[in-house]
A and B are shown apart, each in its own frame.
Chain A
């Protein structure tokens, strides 16, 4: 019997209307997902959900048996951003996923999750963060699975937690448009010739981001406010064995606007059931999610490379 690969629903990276978001999480509550990460990690201006709304939602999902993690914003610039981060760090009902070094400072001494934008590229670096109390590590997206096994060895995982006695769990970004970069500039507003501070929250019109094509018409990136993503969906559904060999015990599925319930279901049946990965990949491909499927990063190649057919 193989060990379960727990499924984490990553934070919704896009700006969705409140109703859409609540409906989405109602479906997640009924899904096979083990963990749900909540919070606005991209843009502090987005306001459909306030701090208390997230907490209320967190309590509801917890009542449905989900582990809930609250994620802190990735790019902090202003004092207000810092205050928002501290408010998350000060509550102790839910675990927090650190988005930057300010959050690391605020969370030190408590069990917490290392988000994918904390730069950990070697075992000594993971040890540095384990000393702070980290109990789970979401690996940077550009790392190959071979590197994950070096950084947090499956036979001898790095020990974290406040008492340094909790083996750190490795989580990998397993599905969705890849969060590749952050900027102070809002690219959605730039495209619409709007100032960032008067953006009219137009990113709400693009529930999967705004697709950017190369000059010859190939889908390339997706603009999501200050975040730049891959146009393609990173998809490791065929890599379960490699994940287990690399010591990965958790897979992050990053929400998209369509068919996300199917995505969770397929991953559950392939990773933790006996469904065929090829069939599942074909089903995913047939869903016509924007951008097609890639998995190059996992195999130490360019991220946009596609799995062999």
Chain B
């Protein structure tokens, strides 16, 4: 499902190349696969080995509520992959696209969004906190819009 162009979307600057490339492939590839590709490119190179080892082997559902989008990914054999939709996930995260964007840019914190119910986390709370703390320690995954020098 693709988002409808609302006024707020129109005022946003152009997508960075990595996202544009992914969005371009949207109709062909299932969203989980695209998310895994994005994580593989953006997150995996920055993921410390000890965190990777502790996060591996669990399915995580990521839901973009306002897009009606649901993905399931896992970290296996050192790589992010899409995960089969059957069975329960270790963790389910649900939020609107804008909240994800703020998190990815390091503009917000998951606790705050959680208190306001803008972010829902269900399932294994310890795993969720490990993920949250790991991502916090890494810093913003996305710089968009790019800062002008």
Chain A–chain B contact at Cβ < 8 A: no
> Which residues of A are at the interface with B, using a C-beta cutoff of 8 A?
none
